Amino acid sequence: MPTESKLCCSLLAVVAVVSGYVEELDEKFMEHRQNELWLVEFYAPWCAYCHTFEPIWYEVGAELKSMGSPVNFNIHGYPTIKLFKGELSFDYKGPRTKDAIIEFTNRVAGPTVRHLSSVQLFQHAMSHHDLFFVYIGGKSLLKAQYHKVATEYIIHTYFFSASVDVLPKAVTLDEVPVIAVFKDGTYYLYNEVLDGDLSPWVNRERFPSYFQIDNFSLYQMGELSKLVALAVVDEMTPSEESILYKTLIERLSTEYRDQYKNDYQFGYVTDTEYINGIIMGEIMMPSIIVLNMSVDGYFLPGSKIETIEDVIHFLNSVLRGSVKLLGGNGILQQTKRLFYKTKSTVVTLFQTAPAFCCVVCALPVGIVVIIIWGTCTALPADDERLAEEATSSAASDGKRAKLLQPDNREKTSEEKKED
């Protein structure tokens, strides 16, 4: 096993294999992984999220039809999952749910581009996938580009190819070859002149126009060139304002798609943990916020949002630069965010494992106390040398005084005879 893995030997390793059970990983993994499919989870036992995810991982192991394994490795934050396919490795960046992980495994383990050879197969794809890309036509330079981009983004969504005669009747094309994305109950065509390079277009279109965004999807949006416009709502206790904000953002995603499709990703969130980490506080619910995930920045409206015109004015003001960017990833902000995340991690760890948290927190404090005590009680080198010299001098003077001191005791008979 590589040195990096040996250095992390304290981490737990389990493996979900094709037969559906969980076993411990041995050093043969690195030797044989290139010949087989492996779904690998990297995690650390001190990670609270990893402990929460563990039962889901066992469920994945029980159902997967391909091989998987967690490896000894040191990570930060959420558990990391990779699929090894020969020389290639693919990072899983989706929700930590059983169904999502199984779908990822089946998608990446198969062909990068799957061919839909019949109307029935095309209908099957539409009924089973909310979003997918399709290359329509024969051999061309565009097809070669499509396969290359599919290799890059297969970790996120499905890529298919098809001929014109298997398309639904509602699909009309002016020319072929062409690439289409099917989502939101409709389809959109790639136009090289208007949309630019294929890879950025796929990256922009790989999300639904409007959907519930979880923390993992929000993290992925740091790779987008878009801003993220969100309605932050509490679905457990919905209010009229929450419903209004969700409705306004959804209307923008459909009615104003052509205006904002290159600038904004729309959605709503109910879990505010990731957003709170960006703003380093508790965001008010309900509210509307725009995130710049590439710099960990955010924008807030300066006035109350009541109509769609208010939202449009806010979004346009952000694009014009007339709304102040808050947060960011400057040195000061990174330092503040580090302290905030550390505090949040300690609080979460204490809530999930209070005894372990106390030990972890007390250990460095105890070490620091010992170091301080040792430093304060230790004598300087010069003082120690002087003390040793003084002790040695005192001992020599005492010995000399003893030799010079007269003997006043009465002599014995033997001593008298010798005299």
* pLDDT higher than threshold 50 for residue 5: no
Residues 6+ apart with CB under 8 A from 225: 200, 203, 204, 262, 294
As a dihedral over the C-alpha atoms of residue 241, residue 243, residue 244, residue 246, rounded to 10 degrees, the angle is 120
* pLDDT higher than threshold 80 for residue 12: no
pLDDT (mean) for 160-185: 96
Burial class (CB in 10 A: 0-12, 13-18, 19+), 3: exposed
| Distance set, CA 156 to CA 53, 93, 202, 207, 239 (Å) | 20, 8, 10, 9, 34
Distance CA 371, CA 369 (A): 5
Q: Which of 327, 227, 250, 239 is CA-nearest to residue 286?
A: 239
Band (137; pLDDT cuts 50, 70, 90): very high
- Of 9, 47, 357, 361, catalytic: 47
**23 within 8 A of 17, measured Cβ to Cβ:** yes
pLDDT for 352 equals 67
pLDDT for 394 equals 57
Distance CA 53, CA 67 (A): 19
pLDDT for 240 equals 94
pLDDT for 351 equals 65
Q: Between residues 113 and 41, which one has the greater pLDDT?
A: 113
pLDDT for 221 equals 87
pLDDT for 208 equals 95
Distance CA 348, CA 331 (A): 25
* pLDDT higher than threshold 70 for residue 13: no
For residue range 80-119, list pLDDT tens digits in order. Answer: 787 877 777 888 887 778 888 888 888 988 899 999 999 9
pLDDT (mean) for 170-183: 96
Band (20; pLDDT cuts 50, 70, 90): very low
* pLDDT higher than threshold 50 for residue 3: no
How do 227-232 and 210-212 pair as beta strands?
Answer: unpaired
| Other Cβ atoms within 10 Å of 140 Cβ, number | 13
Q: Is 50 a catalytic residue?
A: yes
Residue 193's φ and ψ, nearest 5 degrees, are -70, -45
For residue range 253-311, list pLDDT tens digits in order. Answer: 999 999 999 999 999 999 998 898 888 888 999 999 999 998 999 999 999 999 999 99
| Other Cβ atoms within 10 Å of 119 Cβ, number | 14
- Of 8, 9, 50, 361, catalytic: 50
% of the chain beyond a pLDDT of 70: 68
% of the chain beyond a pLDDT of 90: 45
What residues does 90 pair with on adjacent strands?
83
